[in-house]
Amino acid sequence: MYRILKEINAADTWRDPDNICTTELGCTEILEEAKSIANEYIKNKFFSKDVKLRELEDGSFYACDFCSYGVSLHIILIE
């Protein structure tokens, strides 16, 4: 099962303590569906539309929108 997670640091300034908020965008048993959900989110919500999902060493995927209150997307395998 793959979980698609959205994370944002909602702290008001860089001096404030981190306030990481996580929201689940979806869950699927098929990796291509998980990537599709994440890519659709990037296309519709990211400030930088050219961001691509990157595969990490552990097999998860990651994308980050580098802007104020930028979102990080994660696709993780859960068992």
**Domains in the chain, ordered, with CATH?**
2-77 (3.10.50)
**What's the rounded Cα separation, in Å, for the pair 33 and 38?**
9
pLDDT digits (tens, 9 = 90+) for 8-57: 988 888 788 989 999 999 999 999 999 999 999 999 999 988 999 999 99
pLDDT of residue 4: 98
Q: Pick the more confident residue, 2 or 11.
A: 2
Distance from CA of residue 69 to its chain's centroid? 13
Do 24 and 5 contact (CB within 8 A), yes or no? yes
